[in-house]
Structure 1
Amino acid sequence: MKKAGFPNVVGCIDGTHIRITGPSIDEPAFVNRKGFHSINVQAICDHEGRFTNISARWPGSAHDSHVFRTSAIGQHLENGYRGIGQGVLLGDSGYPCRQFLLTPYRQPAAGRGQARFNRRHCSTRSTIERTFGIWKKRFHILGSEIRMKPDKACRIIIACGILHNIAIMRNEPEVAEEQLIDNQPQMPPYNGPQDGKGIRDHFATTFFA
C-alpha cells in the first residue's frame, strides 16, 4: 500500500455499523453504543479501496477488538504471523497494538518520531474510512437500514462487498477518490522484540524521527 510514505502496509482495518431492523431474538445484543440496531462489520481494504477481507457476523454491541480477535483473519495472524516482512495492518486505537496490527500512539513522546508516525498512520488508515463511505453510497441499503433478519442482513452485506470489488475491477463510476501518491520506503531488517509496541517503535524511529 503506497500512501503517506508508510512502509510494509498490506491493508487498513476498521469496523463499521450497518443499521438493521431490531430482531425479535436477542434484540438487546444488536444495540450498538450509539443506540441503534446494527451489524458490526469488520473489513480490510487495499490502497485501491478493494476489500481483501470482510467479516459480517457480529451484533452491534460487539467491540471491534473482540470482532478482530475472533475473526478468521485475526486468528490466522495470531497463529501464523512470522514478522514484519509479511507486512502489517493499520488500525485505530480501538484495536490492541500487535506485531501485525499497528495502532497510533495514545500519548506520542516528543522527538522520537511518534507524532509523525501518528500523522502518517492517520493519513494511510483513512483509506478504509473512505472506502466505507464509497461503499455505502454505492449501495444505499448499507447507509439506510436493512429490514431483514440478522442472518440475511449479513449475507447482503457480504454480497455488497463482493459487488463493490467487481465494480472497482470494471472501473464503474464511483465517488471521486484522492490520488494515492508517495513512494513506499524500503523496510530495513528488524531484530527487536516481536510485539506490537516494539515494532511500532521501530517504524517511528526508523521512518518518522
Structure 2
Amino acid sequence: MSCPFLRRQPVAEGARIIRRAFQINRVLRDRPDPLAQRESVIVERYRFSREGVIYIINLLEPHIKCSTRRSQALTTAQTVCIALRFFASGTFLYTIGDAENLVKSAVCRAIRKVYLALKQFLGVFVVFPSHLRPQVVKQNFFAIAGFPNVIGAIDCTHIPIKAPPGPNEGDFVNRKGVHSVNVQMVCDSMFHITNVEAKWPGSVHDSRIFRESHLCTLFELKYFMTPFPDPNPGPQTRYNAALARTRARIEMTFGQLKERFQCLKSLRVAPDRACDIIVACAILHNIATIRKERIPVVGVQPDDDLQPVHLDQPSGRAARDRIGCPPQWFGFHSIQGPAPLLGYIVVVQDHHLFLFFFSAFFLVAVINRQTSLNRGF
C-alpha cells in the first residue's frame, strides 16, 4: 500500500497556496458622471453650461470615442470634461488626476485627445472675415465709434510657456525675457475670433508674423499713412478717438479668451503642444460666444492718447483727409450706400497709429512693438 502523501506534488501545491494568498481582486473604480452637478458648479468648472458641454461632447465623440470595451476606459463625457477642466483652470495635471481619481498619464492623454480633435474644426468655427456677411460686420463695427468699412481687429499676444530644451530655447524669449509663443488673432465686433496664427516663437516680431500669414496675401498693401498728429478739435480728434475705440475690440477679445481659459496665462508644455492648445481654446471661445455662454468680466478701456509717428506720405494724407476732415464724417456715406474710398488697415503700435491702404476691405490692427517701422511693415 502506497503512501498518499507521495502522490502529491509539494511544489505545485505550494504555488497554489501562494497564488491564493496574493490573489488581487480587480477593482472597478466608480467615477461619477461629471455632469451630475449643479449648473453653477458646471459653469465654474468647465466654463460652459450643461447644454454647452453636451454640445461639445456630441461634436467630438466621433473623434475621441474609445474603441476598447474594457471597463476602465474613459467615456467621451469624462474625456471632454477633463480637458475642459484643464483649459479653464490651467492647474497641474496631478491636481486634476487627484480630483478625477486618475493618474497623470491618463489626464495627459485625455487632454491631448481633445485638443487634437478640436483642431479639426478650425475651418468650421474660425472663419475670416466672419460667419456673418461682410456688410453686417461693417455695420456692427460702425456702431462702435462711427468708423466705416471695418471688418476686423488684429493684434498679437504672448502666451507664456515653460523653457523648451534644446538649442532653440533662446528663440522663445520675448522682449520681456519670458519664454512665450507669439500668437496673432483677428476678431470681429462680436468678439468672435476670425483668424489665428499660433506657431511663432516669442522673439519673432509681430510684423513678420503678419507678413508671412495667409491673411497678408488677402490684401493688397499700397499706401502708408499716419493718423492726425496733434489733431485739431473736431473731425480730426473724433477720427483718432474712433480709431482707438474700434481697435479696442481685439484687446477685449484677448481678455475674454484668457479669463475664460486660465491655462493660457502659463502653459507648462512643449511649444508645439502649446500652439495646439491655443488653437483649441480659440475654437472653444468661438463656440462659447456663438452659444452665448457666460462672458468673463474683463475691463479694457481704449487709449485715446495716440502719439504721432513722423512718417507721412502724400497719398496717405489725402486718403486720411477724405475720411477725417469733412464735418459730416460720422455720417460719412451710410454703410448701405457706396463708399467712394477703397479700404484701409489700421495698425496701432505702442499708441502709434498707422493706416495702410488696401483694396476692398478695412481691417483694424494692433501691433505692440516700436521696431516694426524698421522691419518694413
- Paired with 1:19 and 1:140, the residues of 2 have a C-alpha distance of 12
- Paired with 1:16 and 1:103, the residues of 2 have a C-alpha distance of 24
Does 2:295 match 1:154?
no
Residue 177 to residue 149, structure 1, CA distance change in 2 (3 Å): closer
- The one of 152, 169, 173 aligned to 2:294: 173
Percent identity between matched residues is 45
Does the 8 A contact of 1:99 with 1:199 survive in 2?
no
- Residue aligning to 2:149: 8
Residue 142 to residue 158, structure 1, CA distance change in 2 (3 Å): same
- Paired with 1:45 and 1:10, the residues of 2 have a C-alpha distance of 9
Of stretches 112-121 and 64-73 in structure 1, the one that deviates more from structure 2 is 112-121
Deviation at 1:23, TM superposition (A): 1.0
Does the 8 A contact of 1:104 with 1:118 survive in 2?
no
Deviation at 1:196, TM superposition (A): 5.6
Does 2:298 match 1:204?
no
Does the 8 A contact of 1:58 with 1:67 survive in 2?
yes
- Residue aligning to 2:164: 23
Does 2:263 match 1:141?
yes
Structure with the higher helix share, 1 or 2 = 2
CA deviations 1:121-147 (Å, max 9, x no partner) are 11111111011001000000112x111
| Structure 1: runs of 5 or more not aligned | 79-97, 179-192
| Structure 2: runs of 5 or more not aligned | 1-140, 300-312, 333-377
Does 2:219 match 1:77?
yes
Does 2:257 match 1:115?
no
Of stretches 108-117 and 28-37 in structure 1, the one that deviates more from structure 2 is 108-117
Residue 137 to residue 104, structure 1, CA distance change in 2 (3 Å): farther
Does the 8 A contact of 1:112 with 1:204 survive in 2?
no
CA deviations 1:49-70 (Å, max 9, x no partner) are 0101011111111111111111
Residue 103 to residue 158, structure 1, CA distance change in 2 (3 Å): farther
- The one of 178, 183, 191 aligned to 1:36: 178
Aligned pairs, number = 174
- Paired with 2:279 and 2:160, the residues of 1 have a C-alpha distance of 14
CA RMSD of aligned residues (A): 2.8
Residue 99 to residue 9, structure 1, CA distance change in 2 (3 Å): farther
Secondary structure of 1:10's aligned partner: coil
Deviation at 1:48, TM superposition (A): 0.6
Runs of 4+ in 1 over 4 A off after TM superposition: 195-198
Give the TM-score of the pair, scaled to structure 2.
Answer: 0.42
- Paired with 2:198 and 2:320, the residues of 1 have a C-alpha distance of 29
Residue 198 to residue 56, structure 1, CA distance change in 2 (3 Å): farther
Deviation at 1:198, TM superposition (A): 4.7
Deviation at 1:74, TM superposition (A): 1.1
Residue 205 to residue 135, structure 1, CA distance change in 2 (3 Å): same
Give the TM-score of the pair, scaled to structure 1.
Answer: 0.73
Of stretches 69-78 and 108-117 in structure 1, the one that deviates more from structure 2 is 108-117
- Structure with larger Rg: 2
Amino acid at match of 1:127: R
- Paired with 2:190 and 2:239, the residues of 1 have a C-alpha distance of 22
- Paired with 1:7 and 1:55, the residues of 2 have a C-alpha distance of 26
Deviation at 1:11, TM superposition (A): 0.6
Residue 21 to residue 201, structure 1, CA distance change in 2 (3 Å): farther
